Amino acid sequence: MSVSGIMSSPFQRRLLFYFTLAIIAASCLFLYLIYAATSDSRGWNVIIGLLSGVIGSAIFALLSTYFIYYFFTDPLAADAASQLLPQDIAVSLKQMANTATEYKLYVRTGRHFRSVILPLLVQRSQQRRMPISIEVVLLDFRDTELCEKYAEYRKASSFDGKTWDVPYIQIEIMATILGLLQAASDNIRIGLYLSKRLSTFRLDGTSDEVIITREDPRDDASRYTRSHQRFAAYQQEFLWVKQDASKVDLKRDAALRVAFENTFSRAAITHQLLDRAMAAMSEGSPYES
């Protein structure tokens, strides 16, 4: 365990900083109480000297840790610097969205993207008056057998207490597609693809970095910037996934519900789930509940 690896996590940097401050503050308070409540004696002088030493040591340790972090390089910490703790994943995804001019997503249902990331991309486009290209690859909800296979996997590994079955998976994917239809505009350029390829990993990427996560928020994630040798590999992975998926021509020239029905006119059997899918659009992210 290296200092560089530990300090690469914003969560752990804050934890160390506040914990050290708490030790210093508590020691100072105890020292003040001793001075105020007692007269000098040999025993109390020993305790006062000990507390003064604790304060000095804590300050030295804090300054030394930050000095080592900023001015020394640990060659064994290269992989650790690319890892994100579960507590840092949501913040990192938001940071990436807030600087993006394009966004790529490969995921199964897109619940977190729909409720958190997509609104940030729309807001950024409106505030900066700039176009943003969004490419999203979702599970093909029209394939009942594929959804059943995914449901069986999630039943065995679900973390959020949801009842994973085929209708639920279809509803969540449809809700994400409805969100994309609603967000689509001249400045928000949507590319939607439906894939028959299952994966336990989620890929979020821009032209500057990619973040690889698992669907369980208790797992660590990996973050690679453009300068990292693995960045190009994951960009290529997304390209292959997109090429193997079916491109969807979104019909935007109608009200939201009608636009979905026109887009997926050959999947009329799923239209009976539209009311529930539209209700699911307003639900929050399962990873932030």
Q: Does domain 83-280 have CATH number 3.90.550?
A: no
pLDDT band at 133 (very low <50, low <70, confident <90, very high): very high
CA angle centred on 258, ends 256 and 262, rounded to 5° = 120
- d(CA 123, CA 82) in angstroms, rounded, equals 28
Residues in Cβ contact with 193 at an 8 Å cutoff, skipping those fewer than 6 apart: 135, 136, 137, 138, 242, 245, 246, 247, 248
- The tokens for 150 are 């995914």
Looking at per-residue pLDDT, the higher value among 156 and 258 belongs to 258
What local confidence, expressed as pLDDT, does residue 28 receive?
78
User: Worst-scoring range by mean pLDDT, 18-32, 80-94, 214-228, 255-269?
Assistant: 18-32
Query: Using an 8 Å Cβ cutoff, are 144 and 152 in contact?
Result: no
- d(CA 118, CA 105) in angstroms, rounded, equals 11
- Asked whether residue 42 carries a pLDDT value surpassing 70, the answer given is no
Residue with tokens 């009200």: 255
- Asked whether residue 1 carries a pLDDT value surpassing 70, the answer given is no
User: What residue segments make up the domains of the chain, in order of their start?
Assistant: 3-81, 83-280
Q: What is the pLDDT of residues 60-118, one digit of tens each?
A: 887 877 777 776 655 556 666 788 888 889 999 999 999 999 999 999 999 999 999 99
What local confidence, expressed as pLDDT, does residue 94 receive?
94
Report strand pairing: 221-225 vs 83-84.
antiparallel
pLDDT band at 209 (very low <50, low <70, confident <90, very high): very high
**Selection from 6-10, 139-143, 151-155 with the highest mean pLDDT:** 139-143
Residues in Cβ contact with 288 at an 8 Å cutoff, skipping those fewer than 6 apart: 90, 112, 116
Q: Is 109 exposed, middle or buried (0-12, 13-18, 19+ CB in 10 A)?
A: buried
Mean per-residue pLDDT over the chain, rounded: 86
